[in-house]
């Protein structure tokens, strides 16, 4: 950077301002949503989510996105092969703004050179945006220049405290939700998008409407952090912008050149490249002399935050972090972009802009806005889940066949280790069949079971051919018995299910199907009683684990209270045929009939116990009363006898 620009940066030492703490806004639609009509339940989105914000719960259909846990990274959007994941639409809001009376200004992210390589000249691109109805078109790179200058001051005057840069909204959200103890280490500076918005509020006045156009989906949430002092009114991704161009038949070949409105950005235009913010602020990146480490990419960013949390005393560097491989590869860009090609396009664009750059004008703008308030809003929003009991994790690992192996795993489930996956299963966030090895082994066991069943059926078929008449008679008797049993089962208030050693349903009543929910009821219309269905796909782990325990141990019966969603269930699992067939009676403790029976049972037990106690007390009281009576009678007799023997006195 030229010396004149460097002098602007170092005019005053940096004094961090206290960041404001507010709650996250909740009045807007979720940032991401899944269309169940298009979802084929491949779980690609679940496996791609770095924070398990997309869950697959037992008996709850397909994947579900939890907005509270989401950090806005957009990995699910890229991972879905069916296009069932969509983002919050900003095009409708933009049309409303453009139709209003207030002037609308576009703030274009400096990643345009990497995204719109198909447009031959950036001036044509500017005119295309104006053709949509924007009064002004600005670069966000000037905001990046201001932020870079402040980072230079912050890092020089850090006074022993080390920071995580707060330019990436996905990173900020990740820290707030999953490392809330590090919120105070987030650099107290807004992103270039917010900085550019505050500059243009000063230039055009509070009535102007500002729309940011960039590569980041998480920026849509970032803009909502400032409801009392909005720097940005709407955020549009590059892919949404392309859609608008197509809808309005806007093509560069029919348009003239147009230039951005000032202030123009300098090296802030390098911001889309991970280390670009350091280049813009003339911050030393040398391996020996530098004090800042740059890390980009999903896994790299997460590991960097973990290392910062555990080892910053030894590392003693600031961390410049980005969730994506630079903003040029953001989820709001066209899919399939080449990183190095986009990087080259950006540096070529910046060199072209700086070849005849007006440094004097730029420095005057930097002096004018050098003291602009760039303090951010952060909110602690702890989404960490408590660690489940160690024995439960061990049970799940054993079920997965990983109980005694190293804690590594193939990562095909989307988790870094089998233990992380088992922890998510224990929390009820994912299902065990998301483990590829477990699913394959279970399928192979099922195939083997079918093969054995076929062999047995062939043997039975030969036996049936030898004694067809007797078998038919026996079958008739069995059917009659089953009909009677089924009739009795259907009359019971409790849910009843019978399963074999493979946990396949042999028989169940309608209350059991009702307990499972609407989806199970629809299946039951096709397969009465869900006969042949696998309990492991219908019930959560802690539920069907009771069946496995009785089958494996051959116990007569076990009784447990199990929570399932909003129900408290009393479960009795008993052996019908040792190690082969088990049955279960399940009672919903919140049902009035069950509550009445349970109260009568408990009262009867108490009365019986108290009657026994009263009988004992009565016996003891009766025995004591008899002894007292005998003593009193003895005293009276002695007294009467003494009176007779005493001589009469003279009268």
Q: CA–CA separation, 456 vs 56, rounded Å?
A: 37
The full set of domain ranges for the chain reads 3-28+88-378, 387-466, 477-590, 596-628
Q: For 492-505, b where at least 16 C-beta lie within 10 A, e where not — what string? A: eebbbbbbbebbbb
Least confident of 185-194, 232-241, 296-305, 469-478: 469-478
**Pair 469, 559: CB distance under 8 Å:** no
Per DSSP, which regions of 517-627 are E strands?
557-564, 567-577, 581-588
pLDDT at 280 (0 to 100): 94
Q: CA–CA separation, 237 vs 83, rounded Å?
A: 17
Residue 602 has pLDDT above 60, yes or no: no
Instruction: Considering only residues 621 and 99, tell me which one the structure prediction assigns the higher pLDDT.
Output: 99
User: In this structure, how many other beta carbons lie within 10 angstroms of the beta carbon of residue 395?
Assistant: 19
Helix (H, G, I), strand (E, B) or coil at 348: helix
Q: CA–CA separation, 567 vs 512, rounded Å?
A: 13
The CATH number, out of the four listed (3.40.190.10, 3.40.50.880, 3.30.450.20, 2.160.10.10), of the domain defined by the range 477-590: 3.30.450.20
Residue 1 pLDDT level (bands cut at 50, 70, 90): very low
Calculate mean pLDDT across residues 57-74.
83
Average pLDDT, the chain: 81
| Phi then psi dihedrals of residue 261, to 5 deg | -85, 145
How distant is the alpha carbon of residue 211 from its chain centre? 29
Across 333-337, 346-350, 487-491, 635-639, the highest mean pLDDT is recorded for 346-350
Structure-block tokens of residue 352: 């072209």
Calculate mean pLDDT across residues 634-646.
55
Q: What is the DSSP secondary-structure string of 137-152?
A: EEETHHHHHHHHHHHH
Residue 577 has pLDDT above 70, yes or no: yes
Residue 325 has pLDDT above 70, yes or no: yes
Q: Which of 338, 344, 298 is nearest to 322 (CA)?
A: 298
Percent of the chain with pLDDT over 90: 41
User: C-alpha distances in angstroms, 221 versus 185, 217, 523, 530?
Assistant: 21, 8, 40, 45
CA angle 69, 73, 77 (to 5 degrees): 100
Q: CA–CA separation, 183 vs 259, rounded Å?
A: 40
User: C-alpha distances in angstroms, 329 versus 74, 92, 117, 230, 315?
Assistant: 11, 25, 14, 27, 28
| Sign of the alpha-carbon dihedral angle for 336, 341, 347, 349 | negative
Q: CA–CA separation, 391 vs 157, rounded Å?
A: 49
Q: How do residues 119-168 score in pLDDT, each as one tens digit? A: 878 899 999 999 999 999 999 999 999 999 999 999 998 888 999 999 99
Residue 449 has pLDDT above 70, yes or no: no
**Pair 332, 74: CB distance under 8 Å:** yes
Helix, strand, coil percentages in the chain from 3-state DSSP, rounded to 5 = 50, 15, 35
């Amino acid at each position: 950077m030229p010396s004149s620009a460097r002098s602007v940066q170092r005019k005053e030492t940096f004094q961090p301002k206290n960041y404001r703490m507010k709650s996250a806004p909740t009045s807007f639609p979720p940032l991401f949503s899944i269309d169940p009509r298009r979802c084929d339940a491949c779980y690609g989105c679940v496996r791609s989510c770095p924070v398990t914000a997309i869950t697959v719960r037992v008996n709850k259909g397909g994947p579900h996105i939890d907005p509270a846990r989401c950090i806005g990274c957009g990995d699910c959007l890229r991972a879905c092969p069916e296009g069932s994941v969509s983002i919050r639409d900003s095009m409708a809001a933009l049309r409303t703004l453009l139709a209003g009376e207030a002037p609308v200004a576009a703030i274009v992210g400096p990643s345009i050179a990497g995204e719109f390589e198909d447009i031959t000249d950036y001036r044509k691109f500017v005119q295309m945006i104006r053709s949509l109805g924007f009064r002004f078109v600005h670069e966000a790179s000037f905001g990046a220049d201001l932020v870079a200058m402040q980072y230079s001051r912050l890092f020089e005057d850090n006074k022993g405290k080390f920071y995580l840069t707060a330019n990436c909204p996905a990173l900020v959200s990740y820290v707030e939700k999953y490392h809330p103890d590090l919120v105070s280490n987030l650099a107290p500076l807004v992103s270039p998008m917010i900085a550019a918005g505050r500059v243009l509020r000063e230039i055009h006045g509070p009535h102007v409407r500002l729309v940011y156009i960039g590569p980041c989906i998480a920026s849509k949430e970032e803009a909502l952090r400032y409801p009392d002092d909005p720097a940005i009114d709407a955020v549009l991704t590059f892919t949404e912008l392309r859609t608008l161009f197509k809808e309005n038949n806007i093509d560069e070949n029919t348009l003239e050149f147009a230039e951005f409105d000032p202030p123009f950005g300098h090296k802030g235009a390098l911001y889309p490249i991970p280390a670009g913010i350091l280049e813009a602020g003339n911050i030393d990146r040398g391996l020996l002399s530098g004090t800042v480490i740059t890390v980009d990419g999903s896994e790299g960013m997460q590991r960097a935050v973990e290392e910062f949390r555990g080892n910053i005393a030894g590392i003693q560097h600031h961390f410049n972090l980005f969730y994506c491989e630079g903003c040029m590869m953001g989820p709001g860009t066209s899919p399939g972009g080449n990183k190095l090609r986009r990087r080259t396009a950006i540096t070529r664009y910046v060199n072209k802009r700086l070849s005849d750059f007006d440094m004097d004008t730029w420095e005057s703008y930097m002096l004018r806005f050098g003291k602009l308030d760039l303090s951010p809003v952060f909110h602690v929003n702890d989404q960490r889940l408590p660690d489940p009991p160690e024995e439960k994790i061990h049970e799940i690992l054993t079920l997965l066949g990983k109980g005694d192996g190293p804690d590594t795993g193939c990562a095909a489930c989307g988790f870094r280790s089998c233990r992380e996956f088992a922890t998510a299963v224990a929390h009820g966030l994912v299902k065990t069949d998301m483990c590829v090895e477990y699913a394959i082994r279970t399928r192979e066991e099922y195939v083997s079971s079918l093969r054995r069943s076929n062999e047995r059926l062939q043997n039975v078929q030969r036996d049936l051919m030898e004694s067809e008449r007797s078998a038919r008679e026996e079958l008739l008797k069995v059917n009659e018995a089953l009909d009677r049993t089924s009739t009795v089962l259907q009359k019971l208030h409790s849910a009843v299910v019978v399963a074999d050693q493979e946990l396949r349903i042999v028989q169940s009543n309608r209350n059991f199907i009702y307990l499972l929910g609407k989806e199970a009821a629809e299946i039951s219309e096709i397969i009465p009683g869900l006969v042949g269905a696998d309990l492991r796909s219908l019930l959560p782990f802690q539920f069907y684990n009771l069946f496995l325990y009785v089958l494996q141990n051959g116990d007569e019966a076990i009784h447990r209270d199990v929570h399932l969603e909003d129900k408290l269930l009393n479960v009795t699992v008993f052996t019908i045929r040792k190690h082969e067939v088990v049955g279960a009676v399940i009672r919903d403790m919140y049902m009035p009939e069950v509550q009445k029976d349970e109260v009568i049972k408990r009262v009867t037990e108490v009365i019986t116990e108290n009657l026994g106690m009263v009988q004992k007390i009565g016996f003891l009281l009766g025995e004591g009363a008899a002894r007292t009576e005998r003593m009193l009678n003895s005293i009276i007799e002695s007294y009467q006898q003494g009176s007779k023997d005493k001589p009469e006195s003279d009268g």
